[in-house]
Structure 1
């Protein structure tokens, strides 16, 4: 049996140029999908596609600013016209922000909202229309443990990921009769280039110490790996998960349950 096959599937992955999105794109392509990698970072998006093609997979980079509804609609129309369908949508694009209520400026709040909330809404708005047109599809949103529990100094980020969680529930409820499944993943701390950059910027000279400290905030004793998130994404977007919709999947090394 060829479990978790995405053969002949068309998948769109936003924020596919780095980190978790890059790994999801690569894993999906390995399983047979034609992956459309959406990102604002041309270099990262093109590199993801090059990595996929080097291994015999199929990928297309499409520049996309998810915060602009007009641009998103144009991009989804182009993909649908070229590929003829949209089987899978992964809303992964997002940005981080560190700060509590009092040190989150209006500009900070709007910036996080425009990408993490409006960006997901824009892609859902465009993607659901295509999936209805063809008779169904699968949507996976990237939420966070911050959607489920309080995290210190993550006011705007938590707001945005809480919205991703509830948008997931709403879309799953409203479009189940259209044969559209919608779930989300809630990762804990995952070791990506963003984490390394954050540590080196804020703790120069103490990188190893801070990496160890942050790793130990996960009860399992380490950060997650991007490919571990990608494998869960693969399951939830494959036909083997066909009975699953409207569900949030923490993948957090025990953080939510074992830290409570």
Structure 2
């Protein structure tokens, strides 16, 4: 009986030790297929600069892991130092939140091939991007048409295309506002307000802020949005 009690005590002790060894509340796993050698950096924005919070050396095995402290859901970046080129296809955004997140991608299409699972905020961010891509495509088409109108000196066409651009931008902003309000219980809401529509009329920012749940209001981006709105009001 005494041996049994000692054995159980040992198991409990080992379990508690293992628990203490966990480095953070965010566990990231992933694979960059085709990457044999290089360095991955997990970065976050501090003030206005990207700062590395973890460095992962790849040497033969393209799988990687990282454990981080994440006090609140936050947009992080997985930067690939290819070592042989300065490709723009090397910094992958992902909306991290406590738990386990998996990132699967490949060397040839680091951004476009990425599959990120384990984060509801990231799922919502991908949904948002999918819809807003059509506004970006529309704007590029209008820019091309406007350039041609300027080249042929057609003021009526220029004026018409300018109005269409303004309408397209307004639709994009309204979609972002509605998306944030409809997802008021997730940190994506204040993030979109700060990243996508920060320069819109303050009454819309107020609407997003007032819609946030208490939990989201106390998050990193929730507090930043509140501070930003207060700063705008003091300046006016």
Q: TM-score, normalised by structure 2?
A: 0.33
Which structure features the higher share of strand residues?
Answer: 2
Larger radius of gyration: 2
